[in-house]
């Protein structure tokens, strides 16, 4: 300890005599430590920390093979989603979310309208992921159909920030884009859409997707599947190889392309989910 104290005194005296060098050294250390912390945070979020979902090892990200460009290269049409959902036998559930989301909503009725980040999800999105709302419930089929009851699920952080964690908000209506929408639930604090599917993305509200309205929108849905118990990735891949050539999506817009065809299939890990690239491609 005596030697350590002497070394520290010598170090501080030396640094005190050359303050320019000291300042540069401190800045370099600060930048290095900050960069390492940032990198570790990303790596921890994407690869090290277990996903806060039920049996995450069963979750499969269904991603197209290379060949298209833009965000549409990572998404599918409603017809593609529903036909694959109905015909496959390897997945206990296949769900989807609208990939082109952003600050598309405005909260009204609470002072000046304020923009919100919202996302449209299939009615089975949270049950398929194994996410149970902290308060309330998930969406019902009636809330997911055309002209159904308007409903919304709140992200935990938004619920705390905007409504002071008031549990009484469940069952009440809030204004979204000037229309009354019933809050049916609040998601748990462990669920963070951005950290799982789109790092850095903040989502305040979740709205049931009207698939009938979106049917003619082209490739807009990102797909996630949950494997059936006992089904391996190799078995799911083999079924994809057999099923994909038989899928016919009856495209209403031929100008979008010549149909869906089977391309290459590769498996990799991404964001804690297994990525299938691709079951079918457009």
Q: Of 146, 149, 118, 152, which Cα lies nearest the Cα of 213?
A: 146
Which stretch, 18-32, 50-64, 132-146, 223-237, has highest mean pLDDT? 132-146
Mean pLDDT, the chain, whole residue set: 79
Continuous H helices in the chain: 2-17, 19-43, 78-87, 125-129, 141-144, 156-163, 193-197, 211-214, 233-243
Reported as a single tens digit per residue, the pLDDT across 263-279 is 333 333 333 343 444 33
Residue 188 scores a pLDDT above 90:
yes
Residue 236: band (very low, low, confident or very high) from pLDDT cuts 50, 70, 90:
confident
The three-class DSSP label of residue 219 is coil
In the structure encoding, which two tokens stand for residue 18, read together? 């050359």
Reported as a single tens digit per residue, the pLDDT across 115-157 is 999 999 999 999 999 999 999 999 999 999 888 899 999 999 9
Residue 169: band (very low, low, confident or very high) from pLDDT cuts 50, 70, 90:
very high
Q: Which whole number is the average pLDDT over 242-266?
A: 47
Quote the pLDDT of residue 246.
61
For residue 80, what are the β-bridge partners?
A: none
Which stretch, 19-23, 73-77, 82-86, 93-97, has highest mean pLDDT? 93-97
Residue 176: band (very low, low, confident or very high) from pLDDT cuts 50, 70, 90:
very high
* Whole-angstrom distance, CA of residue 185 vs CA of residue 136: 4
In the structure encoding, which two tokens stand for residue 110, read together? 């609470």
DSSP-derived letter for residue 236 is H
Residue 51 scores a pLDDT above 60:
yes
The 10 Å Cβ neighbour count of residue 211 is: 21
Q: Which whole number is the average pLDDT over 11-17?
A: 79
Residues above pLDDT 90, as percent of the chain: 32
* Radius of gyration of the chain measured on its C-alpha atoms: 24
For residue 205, what are the β-bridge partners?
A: 118, 154
Between the CA of residue 130 and those of 127, 224, 263, what are the distances in Å? 5, 12, 30
The three-class DSSP label of residue 186 is strand
The 10 Å Cβ neighbour count of residue 199 is: 13
Q: Is 126 exposed, middle or buried (0-12, 13-18, 19+ CB in 10 A)?
A: buried
Q: Which residue has the higher pLDDT, 72 or 88?
A: 88
Reported as a single tens digit per residue, the pLDDT across 85-117 is 888 899 999 999 998 887 788 998 887 888 999
Residue 22: band (very low, low, confident or very high) from pLDDT cuts 50, 70, 90:
confident
């Amino acid at each position: 300890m005596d030697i350590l104290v002497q070394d520290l005194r010598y170090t501080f005296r030396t640094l005190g005599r050359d303050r320019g060098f000291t300042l540069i050294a401190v800045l370099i250390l600060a930048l290095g430590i900050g960069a390492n912390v940032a990198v570790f945070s990303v790596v921890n979020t994407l690869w090290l920390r277990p996903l806060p979902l039920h049996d995450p090892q069963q979750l499969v990200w269904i991603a197209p093979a290379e060949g298209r460009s833009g965000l549409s290269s990572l998404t599918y049409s409603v017809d593609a989603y529903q036909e694959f959902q109905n015909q496959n036998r390897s997945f206990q559930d296949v769900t989807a979310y609208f990939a082109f989301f952003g600050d598309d909503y405005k909260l009204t009725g609470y002072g000046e309208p304020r923009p919100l980040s919202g996302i449209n999800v299939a009615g089975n999105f949270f049950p398929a992921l194994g996410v149970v709302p902290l308060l309330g419930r998930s969406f019902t089929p009636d809330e997911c159909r055309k002209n159904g009851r308007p409903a919304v699920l709140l992200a935990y952080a938004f619920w705390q920030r905007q409504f002071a964690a008031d549990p009484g908000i469940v069952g009440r209506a809030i204004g979204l884009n000037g229309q009354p929408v019933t809050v049916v639930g609040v998601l748990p604090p462990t669920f963070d859409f951005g950290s799982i599917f789109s790092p850095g993305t903040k989502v305040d509200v979740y709205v049931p997707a009207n698939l009938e309205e979106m049917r003619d929108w082209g490739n807009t849905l990102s797909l996630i599947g949950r494997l059936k118990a006992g089904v391996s990735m190799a078995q799911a891949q083999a079924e994809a190889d057999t099923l994909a050539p038989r899928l016919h999506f009856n495209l209403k817009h031929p100008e979008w392309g010549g149909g869906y065809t089977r391309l290459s299939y590769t498996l990799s890990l991404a964001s804690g989910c297994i990525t299938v690239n691709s079951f079918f491609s457009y």
